Amino acid sequence: MKVSNLGYPRIGAKREWKKALESFWDGKLDAPGLEKRMKEIRLDHLQTQRLKGVDLIPVNDFTCYDHMLDMATMFGWVPKRFNHQGGPVPLQDYFAMARGKQDAVACEMTKWFNTNYHYIVPEYEEEMEFSLLENRPLKAFREAKEELGIDGKPVIIGPYTFLKLSKGYSSGQFENLLNRLIPLYIQMLGELAEAGCSWVQMDEPVFVADLSKEDMKLAKEIYNQFKRAVPEIHLIIQTYFDSVEHYEDLISFPAAGIGLDFVHGKTGNLDSIRKYGFPADKCLGIGCIDGRNIWRNHLQETIRFIQELDDFISPREWFLQPSCSLLHVPVRKDQETDLDSVLYRSLSFADEKLEELHLLKQALSHGSESISEQLNAAAEALDDLSTHEMRHRPSVRKHLKHLREEEFNRKSPFQIRQQIQREYLQLPLLPTTTIGSFPQTPEVRKARRKWRIKEWTQEQYDEFMQTEIQKWMQIQEEIGLDVLVHGEFERNDMVEFFGERLGGFAFTKHGWVQSYGSRCVKPPIIYGDIEFRSPMTVKESKFAQSCTEKPVKGMLTGPVTILHWSFVRNDLSKKEVAAQIALALRQEVQSLEANGIRIIQVDEPALREGLPLKKKNWNHYLEWAVRSFRLATSAVDDRTQIHTHMCYSQFDDIMESIQQLDADVISIEASRSHGELIQTLRNHSYKKGIGLGVYDIHSPRIPSADEIKTQIEHALLVCDRQLFWVNPDCGLKTRKQEEVIHSLTHMVTAAKLVRSEIARNV
């Protein structure tokens, strides 16, 4: 029996990784300095895992930006627009693909399955050469061996998952491209074998999705080729996030081991094992510790579960594992000194999860009595949490139980509301706006920090914030935007901000996780029933409205996004938790309206990411997700315009549900996938207000007015110009002031040019 880790958080306990990257991008650290710092962080992570008792320590799970981008650049998948000159991809080209540059837009970025991690989508282009420019797994293996004496387990994205998550080819090209990738994988594995590598973790999470029998047959032939070409490598095919779709096929693959998720795919995987058994000549990776949430494991229950498995299967060896890579959870909890003691004892971050795996190994190898003290401590901590007073608020439960159906519906249908709002708001054709946030400068962050540590009084903080709001209200007026926003300078994070003001949430000081690139977030912890306390956004929105005659949008984060971007209690269903959040937000929406805010945006960028990986489970999820949004937004008057914002990700799958949200206007992140979204809207017309993001805010490049004008014109081929809005892709929190002003000025100029052309042609 061995402890095997699937991946370790890259960012460091104090975000050392993030700081190194941003120092490099800011020119404060040169390329050799970055490489040196990254190596120090990598080796520290490996050493930590060894000290925690991990037997199979992952290597090549570390990256300078994203693991899918690493695979793409390793294979030479560099789009022509980046002018790569051949050979191993230098850092400047690598980061240009991720972030863009002035003369080349970045590669698309989208969600990693149903998580809040974003990966860079590999782009295939015709005539693209396939070659192994650099064997990154080999370098990682050698580094661990030479520097620390660790025989690491290289982690590699499997060929089927890599290609399925890539873009730029037709379905008819899939098998041919897969066959062209196989020699690169064989070369990679062969070089690892020559270096003395024994175990390789081949991540194939796509095997839990809705693949066909033909897909599995094709995938099996790939692994047959791997086995024939490099028989000395022990491959473990690793799945996660759900149960395997064609388990009976997968266990026949010529692999030394199969890794299964027994947390998020427990029922399906267990049913499959009971029905088909498990091969005696393969190792079984038991994903028994939740790699996506922060709750302590009920060790005694896990021990019983594994012992029950042992009663009816006898794999060659057992690997005790997290359910997935630990990149989705914070690094360690010992820095969280201010949490409620009951909550603190019930938490388990990455390092603690590795300790739990080691304890499980001890218990299963030497008997539960060998860790009786730890078993009792875990059970007691979880029992104390279950009876915590925050977990049971009778008023919240009663209100939800007695909701009426009319509370989920607007007073009038969209067509009537649209006319009322048009007359009331008096907006021009193709109204311009932003998604909500403006740059969080060092001065803004410093002010918030001073307020938090009580160096500033509330009055000083409010005065600073009002000055910042006034400044940006004036900038927006000068740029010529039609609907303004207050800028969200008081908000540390779009979810954390609201959680801090609602009952039922808790917050860490250092519980950071990677969202995309160097962007890290601190997800709130939902551990109790959620309760509205007092208005959360009215003060700033009301002040901003007093600074202008133009309408100001109130800005909220929606219930489904708050749910998905938090660490959620696991004693209630997500449906129940989302309804509690929606009920609280409903009162905030009403408070904004009562204070004169007549455009209210309730963002749901995570709606699509929460979609289950298996289509058979979609309807149930979408039904409660839509109802949560409608519960939060349906209490307002017809004159009040409800907006929502979403991030792009295959909206053709859920267009009907997006319609059912019944928002008056939806804005969608679209610049990196503009053509695909246009095609979606061609196939599924959208009959309410819509704004397609006309430029990419994740990149520092500034688009020209002509470029944005072209984006608008393409969108108007499929969107009703009477319903179309012009906006950036997303919030502008991470951009610099000069980038924002130039880009928005070009956006407004482009909108005015298109308006003029429409007027001339009427």
Nearest to 104 by CA among 138, 78, 130: 78
- Asked if residue 248 lies in contact with residue 272, where contact means CB atoms within 8 angstroms, the answer is yes
Tokens 């360690």 identify what position?
Answer: 332
Q: Name which of 7-11, 91-95, 100-104, 370-374 the model is least confident about.
A: 100-104
Residue 107, annotated as binding a ligand: no
The answer on pLDDT for 550 being more than 80 is: yes
Copy the structure tokens of residue 332.
């360690």
Longest dimension (CA), the chain: 84
Q: What percent of the chain has pLDDT over 70?
A: 99
The answer on pLDDT for 674 being more than 60 is: no
Residue 18, annotated as binding a ligand: yes
Residue 446, annotated as binding a ligand: no
Of 3.20.20.210, 3.30.950.10, 3.40.50.11810, 3.40.50.2300, which CATH number belongs to 416-761?
3.20.20.210
| Mean pLDDT value of segment 661-688 | 81
Secondary structure E strands in 64-117: 109-111
List, in order, residues 6 or more apart from 60 with CB less than 8 Å away.
136, 137, 140, 141, 152, 154, 155, 156
Catalytic residue among 564, 698, 714, 746: 698
Apex 236 CA angle, 10 and 291, nearest 5 = 40
DSSP state of 115: S
Q: What is the pLDDT of residue 681?
A: 80
| Mean pLDDT value of segment 426-446 | 94
Residue 436, annotated as binding a ligand: yes
Secondary structure E strands in 68-182: 109-111, 118-120, 153-157
Q: What is the pLDDT of residue 636?
A: 97
Distance CA 38, CA 82 (A): 24
Confidence of residue 526 (pLDDT cuts 50, 70, 90): very high
Residue 645, annotated as binding a ligand: yes
Q: What's the pTM?
A: 0.89
- Asked if residue 523 lies in contact with residue 513, where contact means CB atoms within 8 angstroms, the answer is yes
Q: What is the pLDDT of residue 581?
A: 97
- Asked if residue 670 lies in contact with residue 692, where contact means CB atoms within 8 angstroms, the answer is yes
Copy the structure tokens of residue 620.
């149930």
> Whole-angstrom distance between the N-terminal and C-terminal Cα of the chain?
75
List, in order, residues 6 or more apart from 411 with CB less than 8 Å away.
637, 638
Residue 669, annotated as binding a ligand: yes
Give the mean pLDDT of the chain: 94
Q: How far is CA 744 from CA 23, 54, 230, 603, 726, in A?
A: 27, 50, 54, 21, 10
**Could you tell me the residue ranges of all domains in the chain?**
416-761
Residue 445, annotated as binding a ligand: no
Nearest to 700 by CA among 96, 118, 117: 96
List, in order, residues 6 or more apart from 684 with CB less than 8 Å away.
652, 655, 656
Residue 116, annotated as binding a ligand: yes
**pLDDT one-digit tens code per residue, 630-669:** 999 999 999 999 999 987 556 777 888 999 999 999 998 8
Q: What is the pLDDT of residue 86?
A: 87
**Catalytic annotation present for 698:** yes
Distance CA 553, CA 150 (A): 55
Segment holding 322, helix H or strand E: strand 317-322
Residue 274, annotated as binding a ligand: no
The answer on pLDDT for 348 being more than 80 is: yes
- Asked if residue 664 lies in contact with residue 689, where contact means CB atoms within 8 angstroms, the answer is yes
Q: What is the pLDDT of residue 683?
A: 78
Distance CA 654, CA 638 (A): 26
- Asked if residue 526 lies in contact with residue 495, where contact means CB atoms within 8 angstroms, the answer is no
Distance CA 685, CA 667 (A): 15
Residue 77, annotated as binding a ligand: no
Distance CA 238, CA 245 (A): 13
Segment holding 3, helix H or strand E: strand 2-3
Q: Which amino acid is residue 71, in one-letter code?
A: M
538-546 and 458-479 helices cross at what angle (nearest 10)?
A: 50
The answer on pLDDT for 626 being more than 70 is: yes
The answer on pLDDT for 528 being more than 60 is: yes
Q: What is the pLDDT of residue 672?
A: 63
The answer on pLDDT for 383 being more than 70 is: yes
Distance CA 486, CA 48 (A): 44
Query: Does residue 129 or residue 542 have the better pLDDT?
Result: 542
Distance CA 623, CA 604 (A): 15
Q: What is the pLDDT of residue 666?
A: 93
Residue 317, annotated as binding a ligand: no
Nearest to 270 by CA among 222, 294, 306, 320: 306
Burial environment of residue 543 by CB neighbours within 10 A (0 to 12, 13 to 18, 19 or more): middle
| Mean pLDDT value of segment 202-231 | 97
Residue 64, annotated as binding a ligand: no
Residue 647, annotated as binding a ligand: yes
Q: Which amino acid is residue 241, in one-letter code?
A: F
Q: What is the pLDDT of residue 668?
A: 87
Residue 17, annotated as binding a ligand: yes
Q: Indicate the SS3 state at residue 503.
A: strand
The answer on pLDDT for 762 being more than 90 is: no
Residue 191, annotated as binding a ligand: no
Residue 730, annotated as binding a ligand: yes
Copy the structure tokens of residue 758.
């429409």
Phi and psi torsions of 497, nearest 5°: -55, -45
Segment holding 463, helix H or strand E: helix 458-479
For residues 465-499, one letter each, b for 16 or more C-beta atoms within 10 angstroms of the residue's C-beta and e for the rest, the string is bbebbbebbebbeebebbbbbbbbbbbbbbbbbbb
For residues 405-431, one letter each, b for 16 or more C-beta atoms within 10 angstroms of the residue's C-beta and e for the rest, the string is eeebebeeebeebbeebeeebebeebb
Q: What is the pLDDT of residue 680?
A: 77
Distance CA 287, CA 280 (A): 18
CB atoms within 10 A of CB 675: 9
Q: Indicate the SS3 state at residue 426.
A: coil
Residue 325, annotated as binding a ligand: no
Q: What is the pLDDT of residue 685?
A: 79
Q: Name which of 152-156, 217-221, 441-445 the model is least confident about.
A: 441-445
Beta bridge partners of 289: 322
The answer on pLDDT for 687 being more than 80 is: yes
